[in-house]
Amino acid sequence: MLAYGTIASSGILSNMSQAILSTERLCLLPLSPEHLALQVELDADPEVMRHLGGSRSRSQAEAALRANLADAERVPGLGSWVGFVADEFVGYWILRPPGYTDEDLVEGCAELGCKILRRHWRKGLGSEGSRELLRHGFEDLGLHRVAAMATAANAASRATLTGLGLLLVREFEADADDFPPGSDLRAVELAITLEDWKAGAENPHAQPPDGDFTPVTERLSP
C-alpha cells in the first residue's frame, strides 16, 4: 500500500485544479490514476460496498476510478479525494458535479459522498472529511447547493448526513441496472444550501455513526 508520504512527494496529483485539503486528522489528496490499488482494496470489501451494488472486481474498480477522474475534468475544483491519517489510507471523499457526463451541468451545485475502509468506521472520519469538503465547496468554490444520495436502508449514512446539516429533499427509486437482482431500490436525496450552511444548520452536538454515502451508485463509465 502506498503511504501518504510517498504519494505526496512523488508528484502524481492528476488534477491540479483540485486543492489538497486537511483537517485535524486527515490529509485529503486529489485522486489520481496511481491510487488504483487503494480503490481496488476499498471496493473489494462486500461490507463497504453493501449499499453500493456489491463488491467489485479489479476491472470494475478501474472503471469506477476512470469515471471519478472524468468527473474531475468537468468542473475545475470538483472531483474525488483520497484520505490518509498519517501514513495510513482511510478511504475517499467526493465533491463532484451532479448528474452524468452527458447531462447539462448545474452551475454552483455538487454531489457529496465518502467511502471508508471498514477498520476506520465509527471514528468520525467520514463526517470530519465531509465537513471539510462542505466548507471547501461553499467558501472556496462558491457553491450554493450540495446534495448527497443514499439508499433508504443505509441508516448510518442518513444519520451522518443529517448530522452534517443536510435535509431530506426527496425519495426516489435507484436504477435497477446498478444493483443485484432483488435489491431494495428505495433511495433518498439530502441537501444543504449555502444559506443553511452559513446559518449553522449542522448540529454540532450530533455524533452520528459514520456511514458510506457515496451516491447511490458510482458511475462505471465516463
pLDDT tens for residues 21-47?
999 999 999 999 999 999 999 899 888
Is the per-residue pLDDT at 4 higher than 70?
no
- Tell me how far apart the alpha carbons of residues 173 and 40 are, in angstroms, rounded to a whole number: 28
pLDDT of residue 74: 87
Is the per-residue pLDDT at 58 higher than 50?
yes
Q: Is 65 exposed, middle or buried (0-12, 13-18, 19+ CB in 10 A)?
A: buried
pLDDT interval class at 212 (50, 70, 90): low
pLDDT of residue 55: 79
Report residue 179 as a C-alpha cell.
Answer: 444493483
Report residue 37 as a C-alpha cell.
Answer: 490499488
Task: Output the pTM of the full model.
Answer: 0.81
pLDDT of residue 201: 47
Q: What average pLDDT is seen over the chain? A: 81
Q: Report the Cα–Cα distance between both ends of the chain, in Å, rounded.
A: 26
pLDDT of residue 46: 83
pLDDT of residue 219: 46
- Within 10 angstroms of residue 92's Cβ, the number of other Cβ atoms is 25
Average the pLDDT over each of 6-10, 189-193, 197-201 and give the range with the smallest value: 6-10
Average the pLDDT over each of 160-164, 172-176, 180-184, 191-195 and give the range with the smallest value: 180-184
Kind plus residue range of the DSSP H or E element containing 78: none
pLDDT interval class at 19 (50, 70, 90): very high
Is the per-residue pLDDT at 81 higher than 50?
yes
Is the per-residue pLDDT at 180 higher than 70?
no
- Tell me how far apart the alpha carbons of residues 189 and 86 are, in angstroms, rounded to a whole number: 33
Is the per-residue pLDDT at 92 higher than 50?
yes
- Tell me how far apart the alpha carbons of residues 44 and 23 are, in angstroms, rounded to a whole number: 27
Q: From 126, 194, 208, 196, select the one nearest 163 (Cα to Cα).
A: 208
